[in-house]
């Protein structure tokens, strides 16, 4: 029997996926392990491989269509099989959308014209948004299925068709004088990716659904630099990775959060949710977007393990191997941008978290110490927090503890 290729579940939180690119066409020979299609779920892209040798049969879900986990995407025909082996029933089942509020059908019921129409989920969604009756649309997809292009062409044709006059009175035409205004600047539109849409949605949620407040402190980074230099040789020998200031800061920040649990919370409709464990999000640039992989249970891990986790997560990102679980479940995020030489910056809270710490570059600056002006490596750290949950005084206490731990790291051990 043909093999069903379905939308895989890549993590506990994944519910649906977007087909970004089909790597094979119907009728193409496929070898085991060859990539069939690329899917995207929020900020993660993933290559789906063929489970065995065969020929790609009917492609049920087209590019740029979103379907739930477990939904049929395509058929893989085994050697000796052909399209006739698929039969009509499976293909129809894959494209019929079941309405949750529809009554159960009995043997004598007759489906409505809308229910008889075979269309992809995306095509139905677009048609519904524009009140388009799909029964009058000709499908060009497999087995006459209506796909996105068919709906868009039908909508375009409807817009270009002359309007039907409700009365015999002639229409009044308004003459619009030509304008001499210059046209807009020339440019090139780059289509939104799923990652960019997810980033935009998350950032807007922070601005519109949270009461963001900010505070900044300047700390002496001498001791954390010394700590890194002390730990560097042993961690490089044992783990094969180089510990960074970011690793040290994530460990210390986790310890400061432990002393101030209100920082590790979420706002809910039922009240403030205090989270037991600190799962540290690590904001990083990836391709054309931002992603926040998570180092779990940061307070239960050594400096060496944190450095190892960071390196592993960065490698997975570069190779496109993230799963939804790698970027879900964070309780607090740290964003380090010292590599860009930034003296100070603020970050936007990563929803549904309640706070984020921005860590700037370490810079030598003149400071007053014991009545004398000396040069010290100084670093700005800025907290953005949701004032609905975290009061300014509580945020201030956290920042004071964080400063104490940075300037005396033994307190974080």
- The DSSP annotation for 135-146 comes to GGPPP-SGGG-B
Give the span between the Cα atoms of 29 and 145, in whole angstroms.
Answer: 24
pLDDT of the residue at 334: 97
CB atoms within 10 A of CB 245: 19
pLDDT of amino acid 113: 43
When pLDDT is averaged across residues 332-361 and rounded to a whole number, the result is: 94
Which tokens belong to 182? 């210059």
Best-predicted range by mean pLDDT (195-204, 232-241, 322-331): 232-241
The H-or-E segment that residue 257 falls in is: helix 245-259
42 pLDDT band, cuts 50/70/90, is low
Q: What is the pLDDT of residue 194?
A: 64
- The DSSP H or E segment spanning 358 is strand 355-369
Give the pLDDT of residue 391. Answer: 96
Lowest mean pLDDT, pick from 19-23, 42-46, 186-190, 389-393: 42-46
107 pLDDT more than 50: no
DSSP conformation class of 346: -
| Token output for 19 | 């087909």
Q: How confident is the model at residue 95 (pLDDT cuts 50, 70, 90)?
A: very low
pLDDT of 64 over the 60 cut: yes
**Average pLDDT of span 273-285:** 94
Residue 358 has pLDDT above 90, yes or no: yes
The tokens for 168 are 């015999």
What pLDDT, on the 0 to 100 scale, is given for residue 285?
83
Tell me the pLDDT band of 142, cut-offs 50, 70 and 90. low
Q: Two tokens at 68? A: 């739930």
pLDDT of residue 397: 97
**Between the ranges 17-26, 87-96, 149-158, 221-230, where is the mean pLDDT highest?**
221-230
Residue 172, token pair as written in the block = 């009044």
How large is the average pLDDT for residues 265-290?
89
Give the residue-averaged pLDDT of 201-220.
89
For residue 399, pLDDT over 80 is answered with yes
Beta bridge partners of 366: 375
* Closest residue by Cα to residue 342 from 310, 393, 381: 381
Res 36 pLDDT > 60: yes
CA dist list (Å): 226 to 212, 221, 240, 314? 34, 9, 20, 25
What was the pLDDT predicted at 321?
82
Is the model's pLDDT at 192 over the cut of 80? Answer: no
- Give the residue-averaged pLDDT of 79-94: 55
Domains, the chain, with CATH or none? 3-95 (2.40.50.100), 117-159 (4.10.320.10), 202-412 (3.30.559.10)
**Of the ranges 85-99, 262-276, 384-398, which one carries the lowest mean pLDDT score?**
85-99
Whether residue 347 is predicted with pLDDT greater than 70 in this model: the reply is: yes
pLDDT at residue 100 tops 80: no
Mean pLDDT computed over 285-307: 90
Assess whether pLDDT exceeds 80 at residue 384: yes
The mean pLDDT value of the chain amounts to: 83
How far is residue 142 from each of residues 19, 128, 168, measured CA to CA in Å? 16, 21, 44
pLDDT computed for residue 110 by the predictor: 39
Which residues are catalytic, by number?
A: 387, 391
| 170 pLDDT higher than 80 | no
Look at residue 228 and give its three-state secondary structure.
helix
Whether the predicted model's global pTM rises above the 0.75 cut: no
Residue 223 has pLDDT above 50, yes or no: yes
Looking at 234-311, which runs of residues are DSSP E strands? 265-268, 271-274, 280-282, 284-286, 289-291, 294-295
Structure tokens at 127: 């048609």
Q: Are 155 and 130 in contact (CB under 8 A)?
A: yes
Is residue 386 a contact partner of residue 354, using CB atoms and an 8 Å limit? yes
The residue-averaged pLDDT of 17-42 equals: 87
Is 93 or 284 the better-scoring residue by pLDDT?
A: 284
């Amino acid at each position: 029997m043909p093999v069903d290729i379905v939308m895989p579940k890549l993590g506990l939180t994944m519910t649906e996926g977007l087909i970004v690119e089909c790597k094979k066409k119907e009728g193409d020979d496929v070898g085991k392990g060859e990539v069939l299609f690329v899917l995207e779920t929020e900020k993660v892209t993933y290559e789906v491989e063929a489970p065995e040798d065969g020929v790609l049969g009917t492609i049920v879900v087209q590019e740029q269509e979103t379907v739930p986990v477990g939904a049929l995407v395509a058929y893989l025909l085994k050697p000796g099989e052909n399209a006739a082996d698929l039969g009509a029933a499976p293909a129809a089942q894959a494209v019929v959308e079941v309405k949750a509020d529809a009554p159960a059908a009995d043997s004598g019921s007759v489906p409505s014209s809308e229910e008889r129409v075979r269309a992809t989920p995306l095509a139905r969604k677009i048609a519904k948004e524009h009140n388009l009756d799909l029964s009058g649309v000709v499908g060009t997809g497999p087995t006459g299925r209506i796909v996105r292009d068919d709906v868009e062409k039908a909508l375009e044709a409807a817009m270009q068709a002359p309007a039907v006059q409700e009365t015999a009175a002639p229409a009044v035409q308004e003459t619009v004088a030509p304008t001499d205004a210059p046209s807009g600047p020339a440019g090139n539109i780059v289509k939104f990716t799923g990652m960019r849409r997810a980033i935009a949605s998350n950032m807007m949620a922070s601005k519109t659904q949270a009461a963001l407040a900010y505070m900044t402190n300047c700390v002496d980074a001498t001791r954390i630099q010394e700590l890194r230099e002390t730990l560097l040789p042993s961690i490089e020998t044992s783990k094969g990775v180089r510990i960074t200031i970011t690793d040290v800061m994530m460990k210390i920040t986790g310890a400061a959060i432990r002393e101030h649990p209100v920082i590790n919370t979420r706002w809910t409709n039922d009240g403030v949710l205090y989270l037991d464990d600190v799962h540290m999000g690590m904001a990083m640039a990836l391709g054309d977007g931002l992603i926040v992989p998570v180092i779990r249970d940061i307070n239960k891990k050594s400096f060496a393990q944190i450095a190892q986790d960071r390196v592993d997560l960065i490698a997975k990102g570069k190779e496109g191997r993230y799963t939804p679980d790698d970027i879900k479940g964070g309780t607090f995020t740290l964003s380090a941008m010292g590599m860009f030489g930034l003296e100070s910056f603020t970050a936007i809270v990563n929803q549904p978290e309640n706070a984020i710490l921005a860590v700037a570059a370490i810079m030598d600056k003149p400071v007053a110490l014991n009545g004398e002006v000396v040069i010290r490596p100084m670093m700005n750290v800025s907290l953005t927090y949701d004032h609905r949950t975290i009061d300014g005084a509580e945020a201030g206490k956290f920042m004071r503890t964080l400063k104490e731990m940075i300037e005396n790291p033994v307190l974080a051990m």
